[in-house]
Amino acid sequence: MTDPNTCFDGRRGRFDGYGVLITGAARGIGAATARRLTAEGARVLVTDLDEDAARATAKEIPGAEALRCDVADRAGIEAAVAHAVDLFGGLDVLVNNAFSCAPHTARVEDLGDESWHRDLDITLGGAFRCARAAMEHLAASGRGAIVNIGSVNAEQDFGNHAYSAAKAGLASLTRTLAGDAARRGVRVNQINPGTIRTRAWAGREKSLEALAASAYPLGRVGEPEDIAAAVAYLASRDAAWVTGTTLRVDGGLLAVNTSFAAAVDGER
């Protein structure tokens, strides 16, 4: 198995002088992204609803600061953006990573209104609120970028009605924001990860192994660092002519029907 960390050559400088705000950054993809961008010179504000975890993560990352932020709270988001601008002298990159995902229900009738509204409000509404609050500062930077963290659930049925609808909505918001922001020199893109080894899968190693073998052409599930590397590309000037796109980082999950191929091979 290839270690995703070996894909990063340790070079610095791509984000020298950049100020970055990441939501939902205490753990998983958000924390990995904070580590990656600071390793390339950025200063990062690690925000999360779990303030203690955010501070613990930021403490381990040179160039990172922490702040509690609830993306359901417009005033709290605006305060977080203002704090980042004060800390860094501006804001260059926003990474919308915070989300909510209610447990999957076997029948849609069992999904309550509260779960539906929460998933959409945090996952989709939160990204909108953050983009709205950050846009003028991103435009002022002259190199502003927003990277939204979506999901393969936005493109295919993997369960979780509300979460999937919110991620699909996020892809649409990415496109409309890109059109709005392009005139101000701000790029907006989305990443749709496949299965990523985060704490949501803690204690379920056998399930991850089964998924890697049966669903993923590249033979493994993703690591947070795989997504962080894609964020680093889309947030950087290397992607200066990329906006309004959704980049799949899914190990080939959506491109190759492995179960179909296995069934056909079994008949040969």
Query: In the chain, what are the domains?
Result: 9-201+223-253 (3.40.50.720)
Above 60 in pLDDT, residue 3? no
Per-residue pLDDT band for 259 (boundaries 50, 70, 90) equals: confident
Report the C-alpha gap between 199 and 5 in whole angstroms.
19
Above 60 in pLDDT, residue 267? no
Q: 3-class SS at 92?
A: coil
Above 50 in pLDDT, residue 64? yes
Retrieve residue 248's tokens: 């799949």
Among 27-31, 105-109, 249-253, which is the least confidently predicted range?
A: 105-109
Q: So what's the pLDDT on residue 162?
A: 94
Q: How many CB atoms lie within 10 A of CB 128?
A: 18
Among 17-21, 106-110, 192-196, 221-225, which is the least confidently predicted range?
A: 106-110
Q: Which amino acid is it at 53? A: A
Report the C-alpha gap between 179 and 53 in whole angstroms.
35
Q: So what's the pLDDT on residue 9?
A: 52
pLDDT tens-digit readout, 157-179: 998 999 999 999 999 999 999 99
How much of the chain exceeds pLDDT 90, in percent? 82
As annotated, the active-site residues are: 163
Residues 96 and 23 sit within 8 Å (Cβ to Cβ): yes
Residues 152 and 158 sit within 8 Å (Cβ to Cβ): yes
* pTM of the full structure: 0.93
User: Which residue in this structure is represented by tokens 């924001």?
Assistant: 177
Among 134-148, 178-192, 212-226, 248-262, which is the least confidently predicted range?
A: 248-262
* Mean pLDDT of the region 57-68: 97
Backbone torsion region of residue 24, taken as left when φ is above 0, otherwise alpha when ψ lies between -120 and 50, otherwise beta: left
Which residue would you say has higher pLDDT here, 263 or 230?
A: 230
pLDDT tens-digit readout, 127-148: 999 999 999 999 999 999 999 9
Q: 3-class SS at 255?
A: coil
Above 60 in pLDDT, residue 268? no
